[in-house]
Structure 1
């Protein structure tokens, strides 16, 4: 490896039930950093934070079963939270990462908390971003509408998977879908269309059965009872305008985890790491320096998002 070249390796890890899990390892330096994505995501939320941390740390990014470049197991019922923590443990063993800081976004917060519960000796810190400890269907938009509708949605997807996939693919490939999401769910003044587009592209290609089964497993998971027992430094990052995971959930979580720190970004939504990257980097750098005695380097200036103009009528 030539001077100045950072370590980079990508591969797939085959687990005992046949799933092949994609992973990417980049950079050098301890402690290692691991990114756990949200449901239906393949890493888009870490666009700015991951390269920042790679400067001084080894960073692992990986895809859950049926997400991104990972395949599903031979038994397609083996999908969801029940298997994710064991997958991550095998992943850490495969890449030789012993103790790590876990970063979780959205569903990744549940993954990080559950992993810390099961494999506490492998975790030296938690950064929990725009996510909940469990039961996301109960709090989506501060309403139970999605919870009541979910059994019907899942039933349709399970019964008509090919038709559901075609409809979802068609809808999510439209510019209208992207613009509606930006307008209704994100901070239009701060999110760049090019930052959000990869999410829609991945979601359009994803097997809808994998999506609903993973969502169901999230709804059945709850780490509330574990929060008082989290014994590693923890930073909770929340968006004040987050409708997917309302900010009060993050406040509640930070209050319940001993010694946890809360960074509430008032103008942030569920995509806060993309909307306020400089602020998130600076807060993570301070957390790592003060609580874990490590340094990532001076925060980079926040990029200026190229915000797409509203779609025409």
Structure 2
């Protein structure tokens, strides 16, 4: 197992300082794209597992995790995110990668393939949709109807919104509701979910709603037939955020894609069924994208020697 680890910031032309970390060695590279309001909690097990054989890049979107914001705060959204990933891959020394994506990250991965296909060796799309996510949340469009009012309130009263969000998400009640309604408490350790709530409670709500607005208006549906790389699509049987039928629909329209349904899995399937997901991903990579000797890596500084538990770091 490689112990290589490097972390750094890349400041892009509009001033956003993007956090990224690289762990492990081996080609092709693996890039992890998070969901909305996440800073990597869902990759807690899968990223280190991949890091035993591959070079793994984890990074944070604008205003997420350790990444900062551009000088003009309205520069948030899907196309900025794809351009950011292109630059971060350059900084990390990764020419081509298998792009792993969770939740909203699935939209990022598909749009990135549309715009930068030459950089994508494969796709692993987990518990996500090809777009227009507000249309299908909990198999209804009630959030789509409610969102304009939420966005107005957050944009008009950002400080009270931040305080309210921090207060609500810091309660034990919020955690218990999530475990009871959205997730499978019999399969998910509470400690695996704490980093998500910690990050979301401290995130700027304006960044959250602007990112969500961009994702709500984005769709890669028309691009699905043009995906020309090995693709594995994983769905959670009881996922309420992005219902499993969306993943089935994607699999039906992405040429030669592979599909796996995680029994009793929810939106956090990689945490609930870590071994099942790891074994399926390993088989997919072995059959379609076998590992090759690692390319030369940039040396790391002493300050970068010890990896950080990024998922536990608040904004």
TM-score interval for Structure 1 and Structure 2 normalised by the shorter chain: over 0.9
Question: Paired residue for 1:199?
Answer: 196
Q: Is the 8 A contact 2:53 2:291 kept in 1?
A: no
Aligned to 1:151: 148
Q: Give the structure 2 partner of residue 50 of structure 1.
A: 47
Query: How far, CA to CA, are the matches of 1:65 and 1:220 in structure 2?
Result: 18
Runs of 4+ aligned structure 1 residues displaced above 4 Å come to none
Q: 2:38 aligns to what SS in structure 1?
A: coil
- 1:221-272 deviation per Cα after TM superposition (whole angstroms, max 9, x unaligned): 1000000000000000000100000000000000100000000012100000
1:108 aligned partner: 105
Q: 1:241 to 1:5 in 2, by over 3 A?
A: closer
- Structure 2: which 5+ residue stretches go unaligned? 293-315
Q: CA deviation at 1:5?
A: 5.6
The answer on 1:37 being equivalent to 2:47 is: no
Q: Give, in angstroms, the shift of residue 92 of structure 1.
A: 0.7
> 2:72 aligned with 1:72, yes or no?
no
Match of 2:80 in 1: 83
Which residue does 2:224 correspond to in 1? 227
Q: 2:131 aligns to what?
A: 134
TM-score (norm 1): 0.92
User: What is residue 308 of structure 1 aligned with on the other side?
Assistant: none
Q: Which residue of 2 aligns with 1:15?
A: 12
- For the pair 1:119 / 2:119, whether they are aligned, the reply is no
Secondary structure of 1:194's counterpart equals: helix
Q: Which has the higher contact order (CA 8 A, sep 6+)?
A: 2
State the secondary structure of the residue aligned to 1:21: strand
Normalised to the residue count of structure 2, the TM-score between the two structures is 0.92
What SS does the aligned partner of 2:31 have?
strand
Matched residues in 1 for 2:117 and 2:2: separation?
33
| Number of residue pairs aligned between Structure 1 and Structure 2 | 293
